[in-house]
Structure 1
Amino acid sequence: MNHNIAHTLTKSAALLGEQTGLIEAVSGREMSFRELATRSDSYAHLLEKKGIKPGTRVMLMVKPSADFICLTFALFKIGAPVILIDPGMGYKNLLRCIEGVRPLAFIGIPKAHFFRILFRKPFATVKYSLCLGNSLGLFGKDISQAADRDYGAYHSYKAAEDDLAAIIFTTGSTGPPKGVRYEHSIFEAQLRLIRDYYGIGPGQVDQPAFPLFALFSTALGATAVIPDMDPTQPAKVNPQRFVESIEKYGVTYSFGSPAIWNVISRYCSKGDRRIKTLDKVLMAGAPVSGELIARMQDVLSPDANIHTPYGATESLPIVSIEGREITETTWQHTRAGKGTCVGRPLPGIEIAILPISDTVIPTFQHRDFLLPGVIGEIIVSGDVVTRGYENNKNEDSMAKIPDGKRFWHRMGDVGYLDEEGRLWFCGRRAHRVVLESKNITETLYTIPCEAIFNNHPDVFRSALVGVMGSAKQIVAVMVVEPEKGFTRTTDQLIAEVKKMGKDEPLTTSIQYYLVHPDFPVDIRHNAKIYREKLSIWAAEELKGLI
């Protein structure tokens, strides 16, 4: 049986033919499903002639576009694993990631080629180099022009379940980014869940704020609209342009981080504007507040649904909850410090909670699973769970737990299951703050503690961090970021949030409070707080005081 994920685009083209498969909002370029399939075939023929064959690792550094989609599917067809790295992760991380995956081929826009020439060492393994775009001959001919010609159908590589399709890097929000191995079967399982659970397919129009999701849309027969935005800076999206393309092309669903929907919802609320075509919004990448969901509900049609899927680069999606259940049922508990409810496991997914460990878990017994309501480490098993990292046995041993014929993935998150089988997220395992004094150990979890202070009307968000004190013991520090337009003194705000902390049993052990004007966040979603950076900053601010 051929598990090559490329067959999905071929099927969509056979079924939908001349129906619009992709639109570039910036250029206005539109391509039918048949044109997408034909162009990806042309690219596959061209790349094969250039020496790319099954197993050739290809680094793709191309902007979100029709050519990005067609090139990716072309590499799937050849059986050449595609390497995708967020360019916004910073050049040091980027270079380390490139060197770690040892690409044999490189396809990029002229700007990416300049980067490759400037930093030659990480690209030392590159044997084949191709340019997408006009480089005035500096980096060879523009392959997009050659792909305009129809070279005929390309017979795809017959992929097994465990054949590598892609290497996709994590955001690195709690450490160096890691290359996650995506076999063809993982993509198949993801597509099946997205299609069946969220009802994505022909007749739908998607505008994804994360480029990779345009692949899922076209594979499922939905039209993909590439928005006018920088995908590495979703929090800086131009809301007018984003909303205008939704309305112009009749977009019916859209996936993006909470950061982008915060901008869009505020823009629409301020202008009393309702996005009538959207009937489905997916928010993921960081905890989603009930206030954001309520604000989005106000600018969508009454029948529209908001979903907040939970997962990670290593396993996505695994859990989901609908917005109304949050605003009507779970949000009041979140505000009281019970964690963020991320929903119930999706079909075929099993979630369990183990006692928290910072070391390798070589094995466990199912009797070790914690009871409902007890916070522990979240683990997951299912067919969307990736099998390992690229060239990183240490991380494999830390993240994977064998269990007979299957394995579990350690999410790196802490939380608990409630009596209804819903998962509640309480933060990253690495971000918990463990306090020790007089033989008493107390653990503070980020999401429950921060929720207390996020109730303050002048607090945009907060972050619990641990800082090493002079007595060589960790002290808890709460850092708050004020709402934009905050005009009072920081001393006033600190006094108020400190009183909130002392009045709440959950947060009485927090000793120090600071105000930071603009939290550092991850590059993919602009929503995950870099608490490690805030901890370093807090240590400097409190030097001599703790």
Structure 2
Amino acid sequence: MDMPVEKAWNTEELSNVASALSLQARRQPNAVAIHYPKSGAFRKQHYASCTYQELNELSDCYARGLHEYGITPGTRTALMLTPGLDFFAMFFALFKAGAVPVLIDPGIGMKPLKQCLAEAEPKAFIGVTKAHFARKMLGWAKESCELLVSAGPSFGLGGINLKKLKEMGATAGEEMMYSVKPDDMAAILFTSGSTGVPKGVVYRHRHFNAQVEMLKSAFNIQPGEVSLPTFPPFALFDPALGMTTIVPDMDPTRPADADPEKLVRVINEYKVTNIFGSPALLNTLSRYCVENKIRLESVTRVISAGAAVPVSTIRRMQDSLYRDAEIHTPYGATECLPVSSISASEIDDGMIDQIESGDGVCVGRPTEPNKVRIIKISEMGFNDLSETTEMPFGMPGEIIVSGPTCTDSYWQRDADTAMAKFSDEEGNTWHRMGDVGIMDGSGRLWYCGRVSQRVETGQETLYADQCEAIFNQHPDLVRSAVVGVGTRGRQTPVLCIEVAGKLSPVDTERVHFDLLQLAQAHSITRSIRTVLFHPGFPVDIRHNSKIGREELAAWAEKKMQS
């Protein structure tokens, strides 16, 4: 007798991304989907577990409750739950109900967060009690929010709590899965705004489906693996990939401040095979492991994204793993992820010399089936790929990409969409990354810095990440930033530095002299003649890695005038 063939979950018939969870619940119902921190008696933390079947049933229950409450297909819903069981269950429940989750990183700050919610105009708001207090006190989305769900006590803030929602959804036991088409809007994900104004990226179901497939293929992710994702949005891919998620006991908005001892303990206890973290988190974790001579035996893969990962961090992390473990540093953005990727095994001494000599940061080859090009930098928008000028190999320009995960619009920002998106003759969408890059003769992509943060003196153009790699080799530096002071086209390049600890006057003078010598030793930095010591760089909240060079440039200008 022929056995029925089970359909792949990302076919058009099953294009709702939540189908991935239902599929895993059928394939491995008793496998643990999530281990998550939970407060017990006397606020003592312990880990609780939830199987795939339990997670799927809870998300079904929530989905039915959402529908009964009035959160129906197309309802934009702000989601502000802390990472844990309810966060995962509610995220998939919103998809199952056909609603459109709106995800905004709370770490971006109160003012930008309010602006994002005003743009998204969510009709529903699901969050922890603290988020509801902020919503009420600060007037978040007060014109649009009608349906409120609290993960804790409501304290008279309106709406219902999750317990009531669960009761409303418990009346019927059938699985709920709203039928969608690949092009239907699935979610609105806001960028961090670390290099500009936060923008709501419109994700369609086909984008999420493609991301899952590309991540699985690019990194050879297998069902049954155990993942420690320290960046919540990335964790949402784990159930779709059939992985067991370990929710870390940490503040996801402050990855650099994570307790490495706690991370090591949970990695060893649950035999974590996959770690996803920002460069700042890997820096903290790898330093702790090296200092304490710890090797993470179970870990076979580390993925780091969000900003360029220093070679020193990669090397330390590699020393914390066993030889057959791989470290991957994919390149991408909220608008398109992944674009390309490189593994630590590809970074040999020759490549390190290139990076430290100012060639840029190699971010690997384009992830299949993406197409990546380097075009001439322009402040103008494009309607068609034919209007761009492609740069030859080895020459810098703006990075553009087209592929299955390439999103096609920003929510309620037509002007930004027109500047960032255009099509080719086949109707494919291309996205302007806003980054400067170089494509070498071997098909590898090199990242040089942000287009908006380039320094134009009138005689030459300096790209931040190319130049900073030269200075970051100095042992007294935590990091450096090359910024331009003055009007573009007549800017003065300035090197801002952050040092480790407090330097004596003699050491300050020595470091200043060393950096000027380094600048003169390389052609791309010879025009830098000003070095300013900064007490602590402004960095992005989401990854604690991206430097606020615009803010530093304003600081440098005032410093030079005083």
Report if aligned partners of 2:410, 2:417 keep a CA contact under 8 Å in 1: yes
Which residue among 381, 384, 389 is the counterpart of 1:363?
Answer: 384
Which residue among 424, 427, 430 is the counterpart of 1:403?
Answer: 424
In the alignment, which residue of structure 1 is the partner of 2:444?
Answer: 422
SS in 2 for 1:147: helix
In the alignment, which residue of structure 2 is the partner of 1:104?
Answer: 123
Output the amino acid matched with 1:20. Answer: V
Alpha-carbon distance change, 398 to 58 in structure 1, aligned in 2, over 3 angstroms: same
Asked if 1:243 is matched to 2:240, the reply is no
Asked if 1:22 is matched to 2:34, the reply is yes
How far has the Cα of 1:136 moved from its partner? Answer: 4.8
How far has the Cα of 1:366 moved from its partner? Answer: 8.5
How far has the Cα of 1:459 moved from its partner? Answer: 1.3
Report if aligned partners of 1:294, 1:327 keep a CA contact under 8 Å in 2: no
User: What's the CA shift string for 1:376-435, capped at 9, x where partnerless?
Assistant: 110000011111100001100110122121121000000111111000000000010000
Output the amino acid matched with 1:304. Answer: A
In the alignment, which residue of structure 2 is the partner of 1:12?
Answer: 24
Report if aligned partners of 1:202, 1:221 keep a CA contact under 8 Å in 2: yes
How far has the Cα of 1:312 moved from its partner? Answer: 0.3
- Structure 2 CA distance, aligned partners of 1:75 and 1:512? 53
- Structure 1 CA distance, aligned partners of 2:157 and 2:192? 32
Which residue among 239, 247, 253 is the counterpart of 1:232?
Answer: 253
How far has the Cα of 1:505 moved from its partner? Answer: 1.4
SS in 2 for 1:247: helix
- Structure 1 CA distance, aligned partners of 2:140 and 2:288? 45
Q: What runs of 5+ residues in structure 2 fail to find an aligned partner?
A: 1-12, 38-44
Output the amino acid matched with 2:558. Answer: E
How far has the Cα of 1:301 moved from its partner? Answer: 1.1
How far has the Cα of 1:195 moved from its partner? Answer: 1.3
Alpha-carbon distance change, 118 to 367 in structure 1, aligned in 2, over 3 angstroms: closer
Alpha-carbon distance change, 215 to 53 in structure 1, aligned in 2, over 3 angstroms: same
In the alignment, which residue of structure 1 is the partner of 2:74?
Answer: 55
Asked if 1:273 is matched to 2:291, the reply is no
Alpha-carbon distance change, 266 to 121 in structure 1, aligned in 2, over 3 angstroms: closer
In the alignment, which residue of structure 2 is the partner of 1:43?
Answer: 62
Alpha-carbon distance change, 231 to 327 in structure 1, aligned in 2, over 3 angstroms: farther
SS in 2 for 1:42: helix
Report if aligned partners of 1:105, 1:127 keep a CA contact under 8 Å in 2: yes
Output the amino acid matched with 2:392. Answer: L
In the alignment, which residue of structure 2 is the partner of 1:433?
Answer: 455
Alpha-carbon distance change, 167 to 121 in structure 1, aligned in 2, over 3 angstroms: closer
Report if aligned partners of 1:206, 1:225 keep a CA contact under 8 Å in 2: yes
How far has the Cα of 1:137 moved from its partner? Answer: 5.5
Report if aligned partners of 1:110, 1:139 keep a CA contact under 8 Å in 2: no
Which residue among 107, 113, 122 is the counterpart of 1:94?
Answer: 113
Report if aligned partners of 2:303, 2:328 keep a CA contact under 8 Å in 1: yes
SS in 2 for 1:29: strand
User: What's the CA shift string for 1:449-483, capped at 9, x where partnerless?
Assistant: 111111111112110101117x9932110111113
In the alignment, which residue of structure 2 is the partner of 1:481?
Answer: 498
Provide the alpha-carbon RMSD of the alignment: 1.8
- Structure 1 CA distance, aligned partners of 2:413 and 2:341? 30
Report if aligned partners of 1:235, 1:259 keep a CA contact under 8 Å in 2: yes
Asked if 1:443 is matched to 2:445, the reply is no
Report if aligned partners of 1:113, 1:139 keep a CA contact under 8 Å in 2: no
SS in 2 for 1:200: coil
How far has the Cα of 1:135 moved from its partner? Answer: 3.5
Which residue among 469, 474, 483 is the counterpart of 1:456?
Answer: 474
- Structure 2 CA distance, aligned partners of 1:364 and 1:183? 23
SS in 2 for 1:369: coil
Output the TM-score relative to the length of structure 2.
0.93
Asked if 1:334 is matched to 2:355, the reply is yes
In the alignment, which residue of structure 2 is the partner of 1:3?
Answer: 15
- Structure 1 CA distance, aligned partners of 2:140 and 2:333? 30
- Structure 1 CA distance, aligned partners of 2:79 and 2:178? 19
User: What's the CA shift string for 1:502-543, capped at 9, x where partnerless?
Assistant: 222111111311111211111111001010111111111111
For residues 114-513 of structure 1, the aligned pairs below 5 Å read 114-120=133-139, 122-136=141-155, 138-144=157-163, 147=166, 150=170, 151-365=172-386, 368-404=389-425, 405-436=427-458, 441-468=459-486, 473-484=490-501, 489-513=507-531
- Structure 1 CA distance, aligned partners of 2:349 and 2:58? 47
Output the amino acid matched with 1:30. Answer: S
- Structure 2 CA distance, aligned partners of 1:485 and 1:294? 26
Report if aligned partners of 2:64, 2:176 keep a CA contact under 8 Å in 1: no
Report if aligned partners of 1:44, 1:154 keep a CA contact under 8 Å in 2: no
In the alignment, which residue of structure 1 is the partner of 2:3?
Answer: none
In the alignment, which residue of structure 1 is the partner of 2:10?
Answer: none
- Structure 2 CA distance, aligned partners of 1:472 and 1:171? 29
How far has the Cα of 1:495 moved from its partner? Answer: 1.9
In the alignment, which residue of structure 1 is the partner of 2:42?
Answer: none
Alpha-carbon distance change, 464 to 144 in structure 1, aligned in 2, over 3 angstroms: farther
Report if aligned partners of 2:83, 2:247 keep a CA contact under 8 Å in 1: yes
User: What's the CA shift string for 1:251-298, capped at 9, x where partnerless?
Assistant: 100111100000000001111111111100001111112111111111
How far has the Cα of 1:152 moved from its partner? Answer: 1.6
Report if aligned partners of 1:40, 1:70 keep a CA contact under 8 Å in 2: yes
Instruction: Tell me how many residue pairs correspond in the alignment.
Output: 539
User: What's the CA shift string for 1:6-58, capped at 9, x where partnerless?
Assistant: 10000000001011000114541100000000000000011111101000000
In the alignment, which residue of structure 2 is the partner of 1:532?
Answer: 550
- Structure 2 CA distance, aligned partners of 1:103 and 1:18? 36
Output the amino acid matched with 1:424. Answer: W
- Structure 2 CA distance, aligned partners of 1:472 and 1:190? 40
Range with bigger deviation, 193-202 or 63-72: 193-202
